[in-house]
């Protein structure tokens, strides 16, 4: 029977990175305390209560989804910035980028009667355009409620990140991310997975926080979900994680709107918040020239 590797909370980021590379994902047990879970749960409760069930097959008809978590749930900030998760994310994605960014935030509450979600690869959001040699994501699903096979624990197919695209998972190849509140499922953008079916009376609540390469478009537009007037009150590390910083030497700069001679051109996002950029804000024209030259001679 296929299973998911469980690691203890004091595991190293290298072990997480290696396990994800080998199996496509793993669970870190009991990474955050019960009181913290309670606070997250209380903070999300009014949004879930007021939220509506999904209206399409992939999202589910008995599932509620709440986004913009960095704007709505201060208790979730700590999850997004968790040092072990950030370190493992950094190690996992660093071969493909010079930094990572927050990509998607969502509380997912699966209720009684929901069926199993179609197994999928989250990298599908970019279509077929990215070569498999580039790993796109480091994803987390934090268990806020208990996750059991009966209440909708995430389906997960170990090793499927190495399968050819068309291969279908057989029932005995599907594992279930059974875990206690405060534990977290970690997986990459290429492994097959999906929400589970809920046959119980209680809701399965998870907080999904996904990270991606800082040069790829984010699935959830963080600048609209958490616009500058809200982002200005967030911790600067979190703001930068959301994309309010440069990716590489120039990606994501802005020029202030305004009349002639007003404001500034080629500003790093931190300028908006009166902060110094995280990295020295020097456009590396050597690197840009080299890339442009390669591009020019390529055709």
Residues near Fe ion (CB under 5 A): 122
Question: Coil, helix or strand for 141?
Answer: strand
In terms of CB distance, is 114 or 122 closer to Fe ion?
122
Cα separation, 38 vs 36, in Å, equals 5
In terms of CB distance, is 23 or 245 closer to Fe ion?
23
Minimal distance in Å, beta carbon 208 to ligand AKG? Answer: 6
Question: CB under 5 to 8 A by kind: which of Fe ion, ligand AKG, none does 182 bind?
Answer: none
In terms of CB distance, is 137 or 145 closer to Fe ion?
137
In terms of CB distance, is 155 or 222 closer to ligand AKG?
155
Question: CB under 5 to 8 A by kind: which of Fe ion, ligand AKG, none does 60 bind?
Answer: none
Residue nearest to ligand AKG (CB): 154
Question: CB under 5 to 8 A by kind: which of Fe ion, ligand AKG, none does 175 bind?
Answer: none
Contacts of 170 (CB under 8 A, 6+ apart): none
Minimal distance in Å, beta carbon 240 to ligand AKG? Answer: 25
Question: CB under 5 to 8 A by kind: which of ligand AKG, Fe ion, none does 108 bind?
Answer: ligand AKG
| Torsional sign, CA 9, 11, 16, 19 | negative
Question: CB under 5 to 8 A by kind: which of Fe ion, ligand AKG, none does 141 bind?
Answer: ligand AKG
In terms of CB distance, is 107 or 246 closer to ligand AKG?
107
Question: CB under 5 to 8 A by kind: which of Fe ion, ligand AKG, none does 206 bind?
Answer: ligand AKG
Strand locations in 79-221 (E):
100-110, 137-143, 155-156, 175-176, 184-188, 193-194, 204-213
Distances (CA, A) of 126 to 18, 67, 121, 132, 190: 25, 19, 11, 12, 12
Minimal distance in Å, beta carbon 25 to Fe ion? Answer: 11
Cα separation, 144 vs 64, in Å, equals 14
Residue nearest to Fe ion (CB): 122
Q: Which is nearest to 165 in space by CA: 120, 129, 125? A: 120
Cα separation, 79 vs 39, in Å, equals 12
Using CB under 6 A, list all residues that contact ligand AKG: 108, 117, 122, 141, 154, 193-195, 206
Minimal distance in Å, beta carbon 122 to ligand AKG? Answer: 6
Angle, CA of 185, 187 and 188, to the nearest 5°: 165
**Pair of tokens at residue 255:** 């020029």
């Amino acid at each position: 029977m296929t299973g998911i590797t469980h690691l203890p909370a004091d595991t190293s980021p290298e072990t997480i990175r290696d396990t994800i590379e080998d199996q496509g994902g793993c669970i870190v047990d009991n990474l955050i305390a019960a009181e913290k879970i309670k606070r997250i749960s209380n903070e999300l409760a009014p949004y879930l209560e007021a939220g509506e069930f999904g209206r399409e097959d992939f999202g589910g008809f008995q599932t509620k989804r709440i986004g913009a978590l960095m704007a709505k749930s201060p208790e979730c900030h700590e999850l997004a910035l968790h040092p072990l998760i950030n370190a493992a994310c950094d190690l996992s994605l660093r071969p493909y980028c010079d930094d990572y960014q927050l990509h998607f935030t969502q509380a997912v509450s699966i209720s009684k009667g929901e069926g199993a979600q179609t197994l999928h690869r989250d990298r599908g959001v970019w279509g077929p355009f990215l070569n498999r040699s580039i790993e796109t994501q480091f994803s987390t699903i934090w268990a806020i409620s208990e996750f059991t096979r009966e209440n909708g624990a995430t389906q997960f197919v170990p090793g499927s990140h190495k399968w050819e695209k068309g291969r279908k998972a057989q029932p005995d190849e599907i594992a279930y991310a059974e875990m206690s509140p405060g534990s977290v499922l970690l997986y990459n953008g290429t492994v097959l997975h999906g929400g589970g079916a809920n046959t119980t009376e209680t809701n399965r609540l998870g907080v999904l926080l996904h990270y991606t390469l800082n040069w790829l478009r984010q699935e959830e537009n963080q600048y609209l979900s958490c616009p500058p007037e809200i982002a200005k009150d967030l911790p600067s590390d979190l703001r930068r994680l959301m994309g309010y910083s440069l990716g590489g030497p120039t990606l994501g700069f802005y020029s202030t709107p305004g009349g002639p001679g007003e404001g500034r051109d080629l500003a790093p996002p931190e300028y908006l918040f009166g902060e110094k950029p995280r990295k020295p804000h020097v456009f590396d024209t050597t690197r840009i020239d080299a890339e442009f030259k390669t591009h020019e001679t390529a055709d």
